Amino acid sequence: MTTLNEYLDSAGCSSELKELIGLISMQAVPIREAFINNQSYSGTENTSGDRQAALDVWSDEHITDALMRSGLVSEIASEEKPDIVRNPKAGTGFAVVMDPLDGSSLIQVNLCVGTIVGIYDNSNALSMGRDLKAAMYMLYGPMTVLTVSVGKGVYIFALKSGVYTLLDGPVKMPEGNLYGSGALKKDWTEKHSEFISAIEKDGGKLRYSGSFVADFHQILKYGGVYCYPATKDKPEGKLRLVYEANPIGFIAEQAGGLISDGKNDLLDIVPQKPDHKTPIYVGSRGIIKDLERIMK
């Protein structure tokens, strides 16, 4: 079986990028072990006003500390922090953007959550998604899996006995019929409602858990679309361009899919601030093209 290290070597990754991907991927072990003792809410909110679970805070501090100590990362932008963390002593120009624990509201009911990470090699965490050097996410389900792209396709690895081995890849996103949409239906715009109705008329199957990364993983494997749209009261949407849309969109495109705000490819948008919010539609190429025709 091909290991993660062997794959990264074959993909021509630099030793520094390989070390950084390896370091981040292995944080899945302590994060998963911390689930039992971090079940409650912390009593604080992140920059978007979301209640922080204790494990949100723990995961953010843990990964940030590991990255700072590594000396590999000059900038860190985290969903759980209001400002970018800078390390002037870093020996490389990597910048990391992350959602340390996506879907944390599901921890208490033991549903799937994950960690989303994007890596730039230009020391700038507020770069457009198309400039990513690598993107990855760890998914804490029945297995601990790592989905990663270094710009040469998408590969999925499973963690066993401290080693990630290849589970699937290169992954190609099919034109499937799964769909999931966030926000309350009563708040949807007319165009978004029209889009969802068209999917349902074509036999679409609803899949929505409340964990963006877990729901996207189903779309990656089976095809379809995940969306968190603009709403009547929040035209900017809810999810973040930097921490969530760009890394997931980079992976989607590498698998043959697309990511859009309904009109524009999100990978081509330069973030205006760390907490830049955007509507998100990510999934199979055909269904995203259909969406853009409806929205335009």
Going by the DSSP 8-state scheme, the letter that residue 2 receives in this structure is -
What pLDDT sits at residue 52? Answer: 65
| CATH class, range 4-168 | alpha beta
Which entry of 72, 101, 132, 291 is annotated as an active-site residue? 101
Q: What angle do CA 98, 102, 105 make, to 5 degrees?
A: 145
What pLDDT sits at residue 2? Answer: 96
Give CA–CA dist 58/24, Å, rounded.
15
What pLDDT sits at residue 44? Answer: 53
Give CA–CA dist 185/188, Å, rounded.
5
**Annotation says 194 is catalytic:** no
**Annotation says 75 is catalytic:** no
Which entry of 4, 17, 56, 291 is annotated as an active-site residue? 56
What pLDDT sits at residue 108? Answer: 77
Q: What is the pTM of this model?
A: 0.94
Q: What is the sign of the dihedral through the CA atoms of 187, 193, 199 and 202?
A: positive
Averaged pLDDT in 10-residue chunks for the chain of 296 residues: 96 97 97 79 53 81 96 95 91 92 80 95 96 98 96 97 96 96 95 95 93 96 97 95 98 98 96 96 96 89
**Annotation says 65 is catalytic:** no
Q: Where are the domains of the chain?
A: 4-168, 178-295
What would the two tokens of residue 187 be?
């708040």
**Annotation says 19 is catalytic:** no
Give CA–CA dist 168/156, Å, rounded.
5
**Annotation says 79 is catalytic:** yes
| CATH class, range 178-295 | alpha beta
